[in-house]
Structure 1
Amino acid sequence: MARSKKPEVLDDDFVENIIDIDVEEEMRSAFLEYSYSVIYSRALPDARDGLKPVQRRILFSMDELGLMPTKNHVKSSRVVGEVMGKYHPHGDLAIYDTLVRMAQDFTMRLPLVDGHGNFGSLDQGPAASRYTEARLAPAALTLTESLDENTVDFVPNYDDSLQQPSVLPAAFPNLLVNGASGIAVGMATNMPPHNLGEVVQAAVHLIKNPDCSLDDLMRFIPGPDLPMGGRIVGLEGVRDAYLSGRGSFRTRATCSIENVTPRKKGIVVTELPYMVGPEKVIDRMRDLVSSKKLQGISDVKDLSDRHHGLRLVIELKNGFNPDAVLEQLYKLTPMEESFGINNVALVDGQPRTLGLKDLLRVYTDFRIDVVRRRTAYRLGKKEDRLHLVDGLLIAILDIDEVIQIIRSSDDSGIARERLMKVFDLSEAQASYILDLQLRRLTKFSRLELEKEAEELRKEIEKLRAILADVKLLHKVVCDELLAIAKEYGTPRRTVLLEASGETKTAKSATPLEIADDPCWVLLSSTGLVARTTNADPLGTDGNRRKHDAIVAAARTSARGEFGVVTSTGRLFRVSALELPHLVDTHEAPVLDGGAPLAAFVDLAPGEKVLTVTSLRADSPGLALGTAAGVVKRVNPDYANKPIMEVITLKADDVVVGAVELQTGTEELVFVTNEAQLLHFNADGVRPQGRTGGGVAGIKLGKGAHVIHFGSVSRDGVVVTGAGHPSSPDGEITSLKVAPFAEFPAKGRATAGVRAHRFLRGENHLTFAWVGSAPARAADATGKAITLPPADGKRDGSGDTAPGQIAAIGTTAPYTDVSADASASEVAEQTPVSAAEESAEGTLSLFDGDDA
């Protein structure tokens, strides 16, 4: 037991009074009172308007201050002071925090406050209230409209000096749209936001079909719609919450795997889970990387801004599988979070846990009552106005007598009684006539009054019909809801995934590190490079759009190296692991995104990339041809250097072609600008070391030079294009395609045979290509060009060119072999067959139609 003792006083009239009370009972009573105050007055939202008391008081105060969306912003501290002084007997920090949250578009799906200034972010708090400004958002007006039409009950404020609404009219289901969170005593609420359009459609459906099932409502509301988007994985918990009021779901960040640099892959995050900020994710990643619990990440950059939104770039180390790293991020970082749904709200002043149908039912019943009360209020106003107009019309019909009665009366009271008696008017009508201005006593005013009376009777009839017909009342509610959804609704931002949502570990799913599997390195005519493991690296499906042509391919492994040969006779070693990867499909490879080869090698001014080659020591090596007619076979004893010379060139000479020999028995081909073609067997050229200068390949006339060097088998084709002396460099005026078998072999260091007969005005070849069929041509942008049939004669003239060809590629030499296959094994394999050539039959090394 405890005693409560009043202070002693000196006055003898007062006697010391000690009351014995039970401590347990006192604590129970005080705790219950405190709990009730927290639950009812602070922490839990009302299921009707979806607002906590402080939120409701802020919106009501701003409405009273006239802070409309069309007016200027005012200091937030002014709003806080108004709310605290009149309605909310709590601290200013709590009021300002609530005001800030109602203005944050990443917290609320439909913000209710239009903030100006620094209202914070997911990682940082807002500026002080003296630095920010606020006004009502347009959507907030739909919550406070018709407050003056007896739509809701008003209650006294904390000191009984003012009246405040017990609930706002709420023209849309705010509790579902914006969600709620709060912690009371012994209970809490946590409700996710939803899409306005979906919620309104469900509410309308419930009004029209009161006995509908939860599945019917979920056809309109399949799941939450979070302000920052993201992905919800697994909807089982969502349905549980919609059924019982309790459940959970997991949200994931929205990510894509991109080439953040030509040499590196990265994970780009554009949307994070609800209420997760980028700094939180970055800090967690850095902790995991430093503790070696997360592998494969080299750097994290936050490139977010106000104009482009969130952009978090996670750079990956070469050799790690992006999909596996992403799985680790989902498992170990806040890029995947769980949201627990607990739909606790006040219904008739009592906290209840509500499912989706119950939430909608409470709101729709409330909104129907609001519209009924508003209609009754408007009906009363219209009837009162019609009563006055009818009295005024009676007076105007005999206005002279009305004036005489007023003039002959001693005071207004006597005049009112005489008017009521003579014209059979009510007291309200008589008073209104006494207040009438003389300028209203015109003929035109009488016509206006008669028109007004007619319109009032029509409006009264409509309002009475709404009150008399429940279906008509429901139609008004539904029409208003649909109008608000049309005006303020936005498309869904959150993607819903039906999967179970279990995060796979890297160990049980995708391997973390990229395996050292055999692969192909492909070079396109526009200088893009990629690697693929597809059996047909060049794609022979024949159903592709206009795309770049593949001009070279080299076999290696994913963690191996390949060579890049340039026009200056240099060979660069490049890691295949750094290249973009073509994804295997059943039809043909689809590239994630090609990269310019120039990003991997440092070229000198004027230096050009000719081909890519494997660096296998057991291969027949490289064959090079120069503009001066020199040919060289390079021994495959490449030094372990990043850059090396593979031929010693004479002054002003350049390499015009380089090919990787597959068997060592291919036919090497020279084509000159004078239309001379010479081919001979590669066996006739003795291999040399890297410093060798080569041997004579083709005999050139005065002023002649080689424009093409390559290798071919007997089923190849020869493509030549001639030009006029006055034509721009590289322009083709006539094009000829002939079978390679038409051209007889000649000895090395001879002049060869004529490959193209010039038409009038033509005097040189501007383009030539010799290779295995089928040939695929592309222009400078990578667009495919259809070549004519290979039926031209060896020394025949060409036909009109179908387009300006920049490069030609082939599929035949490249077959699906492992990186360690021997030359004899390669020779025994059958070339890949190609589909019928068309303008769409080339492969893309980039996203889009153009390079």
Structure 2
Amino acid sequence: MENNEELKDGNLNNRGKIIPVNIEEQMKTSYIDYSMSVIVGRALPDVRDGFKPVHRRVLYGMSELGNYSNKPYKKSARIVGEVMGKYHPHGDASIYDTMVRMAQEWNMRYTLVDGQGNFGSQDGDPPAAMRYTEVRMQKLAEAMLDDIEKETVDFQLNFDDSLKEPTVLPTRIPQLLVNGASGIAVGMATNMMPHNLSEVIDACVAYIDDKEISIDDLTKHVKGPDFPTGGIIYGFEGVKAALHTGRGRVVLRGRVNVETGKNGREKIVIYETPYQVNRDQLTSKIGELINEKLIEGISDVNNESNKEGTRVVVELKKDVVAQVVINQLYKQTDLQTSYGINNVAIVKGRPKILNLKDLIREFIEFRHEVVIRRTRYELRKAEERAHILEGYIIALDNLDAVIKLIRESSTPNIAQEGLISNFGMTEIQAKAVLELRLQRLTGMEIDKIREEHAEIMKLIERLKEILATESLRFQIIKDELAEIKEKFGDERRTEITYLDDEISMLDLIEEEDVVVTISHLGYIKRTSATEYRQQRRGGRGAKGSSTRQEDYIEHLFVASTHHTLLFFTEKGKCFWLPVYQIPEGDKTSKGRAIQNLVQIPPDDKVRAIIDVKDFKDEEYLKSHYIVLCTKKGIIKKTDLEDFSRPRQSGINAINILEGDQLLAARLTDGNCEIMMAVKSGRAIRFPEEKVRSTGRGGIGVAGIEVDDENDEVVGLVCVNREDKSKTILVVSEKGYGKRTSLDDAETGEANYRITNRGGKGVKTINVTPKTGGLVGLLDVTEKEDLMITCVSGVTIRMSVASVSEQGRATQGVKLIRVDEDDAIAAITQLDEKEEEVEGVIEGDVNDIAAEGIAPDTASDISETPEDNTTESTDNQ
């Protein structure tokens, strides 16, 4: 009875401790906790090392057991027991299934476990039990655990707080992109495709070189998913969407061949199936379609696959068109399969959708953190060792006294205190000296101690430099990635084909040379080079373009339709335009305003154009430079690679000072001599090395002195110093011109002496009121043609060989008749030399007459003695 009363009293006392809870809120909170546990701790991979906890624990458990690639295999059951007992308190089946999948070469693009025994097959056969199979790590997996002992990652307590396990592996491999991942969490899922290791590493290096790189530029390296079973990606738009947004769809087809059997009948051989397609199920499905007569023309189907590879043979009936059956197989079977791409991973403890650039950025930032932590660890260890070695050196420098002190000390503690007080050692140094073996006191060992100390001091200096310099750390990351690519990189297995609406325009454009013309008011067009035929020197010329009365042709050059043009404006900006995108027009059409094709501001104007062959060739980009010059004589050199990433809004190529304008741009290979000429007739020649390469935003340096307000730079040429076939061609406003060699062929003396940049230069043409000022200079060969354009729009084409070669200070000969109210506007050379034609053909005469210009069929013009007057004056 008393006990019952006590219980009652107890219930009364506890009544105040019962807290009423809303069951809906409690369920919501509990379910959120459960879902986050599944999302973060089970189903989704970490963006840094690309692993879920079970994968990470399997590899870490194998490394703790010393189950490396150069050691004997260990029973799978032993690995599973180790992982389950120490790190992963779940069923043994989940651990073993994870380990098996990491060993299956048809599931993993790059396997991480080396399995021995029956690990299943692509036909759906299950693996043998764990007691029968054996495993060890692949070398690639070892690279994911490199430096884990150097405090590169954080460790956490395991499930029972008895051991520690890594929260992430310090991987050198961009594992998440390379092998992909799939998992279903609560309320979200991930399905990431595998990619090619070599391509991903190239993209990582490109990102390190330019953190602002666009996803389009990254896709030049990472073409798309690369599946372990090969196949053909059919259509690129879904892949492109996934690379840009993290979500997309990839359609994958198996590869087939059509063979002819001994009986003369054709058979379709499937030798690559889509990713994760069961070959036996595919064969059964084809058999069902045959039985149900949904596919006609197949007599038999058989799966002949073995360890050598996939071979599913589809026998065809007589006179059946193989391609029709192939298309039906793509449509009705898993020979064509689609995969939804959903790039969800854990970033800083939260699930996030990631595009290609996000994935690469997160990996590189993680590697950067690993390099910093590793370097700090190595520095600490090096300093600790250096400290002990310094104690050794103190002892060796005072060897007799140290030995005497130790012998006279009654206990080790007294000896230690004596070393500290008498020789200034620290406790650590004194302890190390006391533990020093007597054999280290031999002469050779003493030298080794001093050498080790010198080396470790160099190492400490190097490690401190790495910690202080970000560029060095990123270079280490690049070097390590290059090493991984060399060791484990391979060729792409999966081919990418484009649908009809995805084919690049470049593939449809016939490659041919075209003449590109740009007028003073900014109208551009391209015309086939064959429309311009050659005339003799001194002729009247043919009408080259129909322009407004106040307009005239300012730029005229030849380029291939597959090349890209770089437009440089007078304010120093650069824009891109593929040649094939320039509207085509005939010789007399006006063209189209550049502003309609390129986003050039209304208050800016194109001043120079460079024709670039290939922006995809890395060697070409790294070995070429853009040389820019302004009207006030400033010159600047920049790596071509800095211009390889197009932007619609353009980029800054040079910082133009007030009152100046960009005049010209040239492409060089770094082994040229630069010449600049001014309107007053002076020219300067100096080596390209005198202008060091600077970034796009720089101002440049002085190239030639322009001291007169009315004077300005009119031309820039960059001549390869190995090329002896080039001569310098100059043309004046009134149509006078000549050629002069850089160096005298007989004496070897320089006609244009090589000087430092920034000087006045020497006379390159004798400027008189009759010749007018200098309008341009070109470096030409006799095999080329010269095209001269007047302000009025009249154009003449002639052979460079017909222009006489004269001394540097002469005024030259008349190349084209220029009316009193007209002047030469532009000169350019054409690479291809056409067959010479005298005079003007009848059709052109009519065209010219229609424009109000009197035809002149004179093929040559007599030269007065005045025309050939030479001067020896040297404007030094």
Fold match, TM over 0.5? Answer: yes
Matched, 1:430 2:426: no
One-letter amino acid matched to 1:208: D
Asked if the contact 1:59–1:140 (Cα under 8 Å) also holds between the matched residues in 2, the reply is yes
TM norm structure 1: 0.57
TM norm structure 2: 0.55
One-letter amino acid matched to 1:275: Q
Asked if the contact 1:233–1:500 (Cα under 8 Å) also holds between the matched residues in 2, the reply is no
Q: Distance in 1 between matches of 2:135 and 2:9?
A: 58
Please name the residue that 1:496 is paired with: 496
Please name the residue that 1:58 is paired with: 58
Q: How big is each residue's C-alpha offset from its partner over 1:218-238, in whole Å with a ceiling of 9 and x where there is no partner?
A: 000011110010000101011
What aligned pairs does 1:223-242 form with structure 2 within 5 A after superposition?
223-242=224-243
Cα drift, residue 9 of structure 1: 13
Q: How big is each residue's C-alpha offset from its partner over 1:782-801, in whole Å with a ceiling of 9 and x where there is no partner?
A: xxxxxxxxxxxxxxxxxxxx
Asked if the contact 1:233–1:501 (Cα under 8 Å) also holds between the matched residues in 2, the reply is no
Q: Distance in 2 between matches of 1:76 and 1:23?
A: 46
Please name the residue that 1:444 is paired with: 444
Q: How big is each residue's C-alpha offset from its partner over 1:44-101, in whole Å with a ceiling of 9 and x where there is no partner?
A: 0000000000000000010000001011111111111111111111111111111111
What aligned pairs does 1:157-306 form with structure 2 within 5 A after superposition?
157-306=158-307
Q: Secondary structure at the match of 1:447?
A: helix
Please name the residue that 2:535 is paired with: none
Asked if the contact 1:345–1:353 (Cα under 8 Å) also holds between the matched residues in 2, the reply is yes
Relative to structure 1, is the Cα distance of residues 450 and 11 closer, same or farther in structure 2, using a 3 angstrom cutoff? farther
Cα drift, residue 353 of structure 1: 0.2
Please name the residue that 1:82 is paired with: 82
Please name the residue that 1:553 is paired with: none
Q: Distance in 2 between matches of 1:154 and 1:413?
A: 37
Q: Distance in 2 between matches of 1:258 and 1:109?
A: 29
One-letter amino acid matched to 2:135: A
Matched, 1:143 2:144: yes
Relative to structure 1, is the Cα distance of residues 163 and 13 closer, same or farther in structure 2, using a 3 angstrom cutoff? farther
What aligned pairs does 1:744-783 form with structure 2 within 5 A after superposition?
none
One-letter amino acid matched to 1:443: G
Please name the residue that 2:133 is paired with: 132
Relative to structure 1, is the Cα distance of residues 12 and 387 closer, same or farther in structure 2, using a 3 angstrom cutoff? farther
Cα drift, residue 414 of structure 1: 2.0
Cα drift, residue 261 of structure 1: 2.9
Please name the residue that 1:618 is paired with: none
Relative to structure 1, is the Cα distance of residues 213 and 172 closer, same or farther in structure 2, using a 3 angstrom cutoff? same
Matched, 1:121 2:124: no
Q: How big is each residue's C-alpha offset from its partner over 1:257-298, in whole Å with a ceiling of 9 and x where there is no partner?
A: 111333211001110001112111111111111111111111
Q: Secondary structure at the match of 1:475?
A: helix
Please name the residue that 2:362 is paired with: 362
Cα drift, residue 407 of structure 1: 2.3
Q: Secondary structure at the match of 1:20?
A: coil
Please name the residue that 2:764 is paired with: none
What's the Cα RMSD here?
1.7
Please name the residue that 2:337 is paired with: 337
Q: Distance in 1 between matches of 2:157 and 2:388?
A: 33
Cα drift, residue 383 of structure 1: 1.2
Asked if the contact 1:200–1:481 (Cα under 8 Å) also holds between the matched residues in 2, the reply is yes
Q: Distance in 1 between matches of 2:439 and 2:108?
A: 54
Q: How big is each residue's C-alpha offset from its partner over 1:740-771, in whole Å with a ceiling of 9 and x where there is no partner?
A: xxxxxxxxxxxxxxxxxxxxxxxxxxxxxxxx
One-letter amino acid matched to 1:76: S
Q: Secondary structure at the match of 1:160?
A: coil
Q: Distance in 1 between matches of 2:157 and 2:5?
A: 37
Matched, 1:96 2:96: yes
Please name the residue that 1:324 is paired with: 324
Q: Distance in 2 between matches of 1:271 and 1:37?
A: 39
One-letter amino acid matched to 1:292: K
Q: Distance in 1 between matches of 2:469 and 2:229?
A: 43
Q: Distance in 1 between matches of 2:162 and 2:435?
A: 33
Please name the residue that 1:829 is paired with: none
After TM superposition, the structure 1 stretch with the greater mean CA deviation from structure 2, 281-290 or 137-146, is 281-290
Relative to structure 1, is the Cα distance of residues 72 and 11 closer, same or farther in structure 2, using a 3 angstrom cutoff? farther
Relative to structure 1, is the Cα distance of residues 58 and 14 closer, same or farther in structure 2, using a 3 angstrom cutoff? farther
Aligned length: 494
Identical aligned pairs, as a percentage?
Answer: 47
Cα drift, residue 14 of structure 1: 5.0
Relative to structure 1, is the Cα distance of residues 21 and 406 closer, same or farther in structure 2, using a 3 angstrom cutoff? same
Q: Distance in 1 between matches of 2:240 and 2:371?
A: 31
Please name the residue that 1:459 is paired with: 459
One-letter amino acid matched to 1:105: E
Q: Distance in 1 between matches of 2:494 and 2:263?
A: 31
Please name the residue that 2:715 is paired with: none
What aligned pairs does 1:411-422 form with structure 2 within 5 A after superposition?
411-422=411-422
One-letter amino acid matched to 2:365: D
Cα drift, residue 458 of structure 1: 1.5
Relative to structure 1, is the Cα distance of residues 319 and 46 closer, same or farther in structure 2, using a 3 angstrom cutoff? same
Q: How big is each residue's C-alpha offset from its partner over 1:187-213, in whole Å with a ceiling of 9 and x where there is no partner?
A: 000011000000000001101110000
One-letter amino acid matched to 1:54: V
Matched, 1:374 2:374: yes
One-letter amino acid matched to 2:46: D
One-letter amino acid matched to 2:495: V
Gaps of 5+ in 1: 1-7, 503-851
Q: Secondary structure at the match of 1:261?
A: coil
Q: Distance in 2 between matches of 1:13 and 1:392?
A: 76
Q: Distance in 2 between matches of 1:10 and 1:357?
A: 70
Relative to structure 1, is the Cα distance of residues 501 and 260 closer, same or farther in structure 2, using a 3 angstrom cutoff? farther
Cα drift, residue 411 of structure 1: 2.2
Please name the residue that 2:155 is paired with: 154
Asked if the contact 1:302–1:312 (Cα under 8 Å) also holds between the matched residues in 2, the reply is yes
Please name the residue that 1:665 is paired with: none
What aligned pairs does 1:703-714 form with structure 2 within 5 A after superposition?
none
Please name the residue that 1:474 is paired with: 474
Asked if the contact 1:251–1:273 (Cα under 8 Å) also holds between the matched residues in 2, the reply is yes
Gaps of 5+ in 2: 503-876
Relative to structure 1, is the Cα distance of residues 435 and 203 closer, same or farther in structure 2, using a 3 angstrom cutoff? same
Please name the residue that 1:770 is paired with: none
Relative to structure 1, is the Cα distance of residues 135 and 309 closer, same or farther in structure 2, using a 3 angstrom cutoff? same
Q: Distance in 1 between matches of 2:81 and 2:400?
A: 57
Q: Secondary structure at the match of 2:47?
A: coil
Q: Distance in 1 between matches of 2:6 and 2:174?
A: 62
Relative to structure 1, is the Cα distance of residues 297 and 146 closer, same or farther in structure 2, using a 3 angstrom cutoff? same
Q: Distance in 2 between matches of 1:10 and 1:362?
A: 64
What aligned pairs does 1:559-598 form with structure 2 within 5 A after superposition?
none
Q: Which has the larger radius of gyration?
A: 1
Q: How big is each residue's C-alpha offset from its partner over 1:235-262, in whole Å with a ceiling of 9 and x where there is no partner?
A: 1011100111000010000001111333
Asked if the contact 1:234–1:501 (Cα under 8 Å) also holds between the matched residues in 2, the reply is no
Cα drift, residue 121 of structure 1: 1.7
Relative to structure 1, is the Cα distance of residues 9 and 55 closer, same or farther in structure 2, using a 3 angstrom cutoff? farther
Q: Distance in 2 between matches of 1:12 and 1:279?
A: 71
One-letter amino acid matched to 1:185: V
Asked if the contact 1:179–1:192 (Cα under 8 Å) also holds between the matched residues in 2, the reply is yes
Q: Distance in 2 between matches of 1:12 and 1:147?
A: 60
Relative to structure 1, is the Cα distance of residues 13 and 385 closer, same or farther in structure 2, using a 3 angstrom cutoff? farther
One-letter amino acid matched to 1:52: K
Cα drift, residue 443 of structure 1: 1.1
Cα drift, residue 332 of structure 1: 0.1
Q: How big is each residue's C-alpha offset from its partner over 1:793-823, in whole Å with a ceiling of 9 and x where there is no partner?
A: xxxxxxxxxxxxxxxxxxxxxxxxxxxxxxx
